[in-house]
Structure 1
Amino acid sequence: MKIIISAAAIVFLAVANTPALAQSGHAGMHHGASPEASMPMANMKMSNGTVKKLDAAAGKITIAHGPLENLNMPSMTMTFNVLDKAVLKRIKPGDKVNFVAAHVDGAMAVTSLELAK
């Protein structure tokens, strides 16, 4: 009988503590907030890349880029929205660029771009 009571007590404690354990560790999470959203634009490190394609009508640019540290993303080729479409007139495929990318309105966008020196 003691074994049954002990086993029941262990099961009860395990079940009773499950919600408490599920709640721990969430204090550091920022649901819905990307890391770059809390970072001033001037403090963001620029990434480097090579322009592969421009779509001025759609306001998009494709860049083969190095790591995007502010987004914790590895090197790859991506298409981004461009916030300042005038920048598309100053560059062409093959140009080396430095840029900042961020999540803007649910999409990846280039928020700052300059020709690499």
Structure 2
Amino acid sequence: MAGFCLLIGVFLVTFDYGHTGNDIRDTGSTKQQILKLSKMMAKLESVVEEIQNDNRKLKGVISELSNRLENEIRLRGQLEERVRRCEICLNEDDGNDVIMHQTSLNTTTTRKRFSGIRTPN
């Protein structure tokens, strides 16, 4: 890439000298311009590398945030389902059962009020 840009720079310098009437054999200023162009190209290449690295990092961050969002949406759906089930249980409660909820997901149990028997819901 740098060699191609350097070649273009040399062509532009040569083309410019041809139109201004300056002698193309003025190697001192041409070499200086070529050196300046090659230094600028090296700086540009390092900037491009930094931008590409930043883009890779940003893609990783976006991917992580996307995964977290999907997980949060999944957990919210699970919680909404548990709330819905609790509402159904409360609406159907005939007074004989007591609803007990444990902290882990999907572990709702019912217990007969006076018998002490635990049965899965």
TM-score of the superposed pair, with normalisation by structure 1: 0.29
Q: Which has the higher contact order (CA 8 A, sep 6+)?
A: 1
TM-score of the superposed pair, with normalisation by structure 2: 0.28
Q: Report which of the two structures shows the higher radius of gyration computed on alpha carbons.
A: 2
Greater helix percent: which structure?
A: 2
